[in-house]
């Protein structure tokens, strides 16, 4: 009699455990993926930016979803920025059509901290910045985009993946190329 009670109790406990496990996992399935928080740290979702291009049309950062994107803060009057531009151009030309682990293609969302629109446009042409997404609010250091991203000096950049997640910050020179190479879907 005592053994039957033990067996019934043990069976009940196992059954309760299984039901509890199933109910817990019903809400903890991969289909209910939690959205990463918006922030400025690696692993955060990059804050949205929407500013006008040189033609006066708004261009949103989120419109580039699906691609690896370098959010590049720079200005025509910034000598270190202009010296860094050849590296950014080289990265763009080399990786723009390649497939990454999290994104197809690579582009640049260039946020200018210029005040003079003509100087900004002239620098884009002079430095061969051939990507489409050039934006600015023409407020120089009072730029809302720079404030959102905590930019205190330029050049400054943030690399986001195809889902808009920050994966690296302030990649300069060869570090940009090395990082992009490491993120390719297939090794070259």
- Model confidence over 42-89: pLDDT tens digits? 999 999 999 999 999 999 999 999 999 999 999 999 999 999 999 999
What's the mean pLDDT when you consider all of the chain? Answer: 88
Q: Quote the pTM value.
A: 0.82
Mean pLDDT of 118-141: 98
Report whether pLDDT(158) > 80.
yes
For residue 19, what pLDDT band results from cuts at 50, 70 and 90?
very low
Which band of pLDDT confidence, cut at 50, 70 and 90, is reported for residue 35?
confident
Q: Which of 94 and 187 is assigned the larger pLDDT? A: 94
Which long-range contacts does 90-99 make (Cβ < 8 Å, 24+ apart)?
90/177, 91/176, 91/177, 91/180, 92/130, 92/131, 93/130, 94/177, 94/180, 95/68, 95/180, 96/131, 98/184, 98/185, 99/184, 99/185, 99/186
Between the alpha carbon of residue 120 and those of residues 58, 125, 137, 153, the distances in Å are 16, 9, 11, 18
Percent of the chain with pLDDT strictly greater than 70: 81
Residue with more model confidence, 19 or 5: 5
**Each residue of 78-120: pLDDT tens digit?**
999 999 999 999 999 999 999 999 999 999 999 999 999 999 9
User: What are 135's strand-pairing partners?
Assistant: 111
Q: In whole angstroms, what is the distance from residue 30 CA to residue 102 CA?
A: 18
d(CA 71, CA 157): 5
């Amino acid at each position: 009699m005592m053994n039957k009670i033990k067996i019934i109790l043990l069976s009940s406990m196992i059954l309760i455990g299984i039901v509890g496990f199933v109910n817990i996992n019903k809400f903890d399935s991969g289909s209910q993926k939690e959205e990463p928080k918006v922030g400025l740290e690696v692993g955060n979702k990059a804050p949205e930016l929407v500013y006008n291009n040189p033609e006066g049309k708004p261009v949103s950062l989120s419109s580039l979803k699906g691609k690896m994107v370098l959010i590049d803060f720079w200005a025509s009057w910034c000598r270190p920025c202009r010296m860094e531009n050849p590296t950014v151009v080289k990265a763009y030309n080399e990786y723009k059509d390649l497939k990454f682990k999290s994104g197809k293609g690579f582009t640049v969302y260039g946020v200018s901290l210029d005040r003079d629109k003509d100087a900004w446009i002239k620098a884009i042409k002079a430095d061969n910045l051939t990507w489409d997404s050039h934006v600015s609010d023409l407020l120089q250091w009072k730029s809302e985009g720079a404030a959102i991203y905590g930019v205190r000096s330029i050049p400054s950049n943030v690399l986001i993946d195809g889902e808009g997640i920050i994966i690296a910050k302030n990649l300069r020179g060869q570090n940009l190329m090395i990082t992009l190479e490491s993120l390719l879907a297939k090794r070259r």
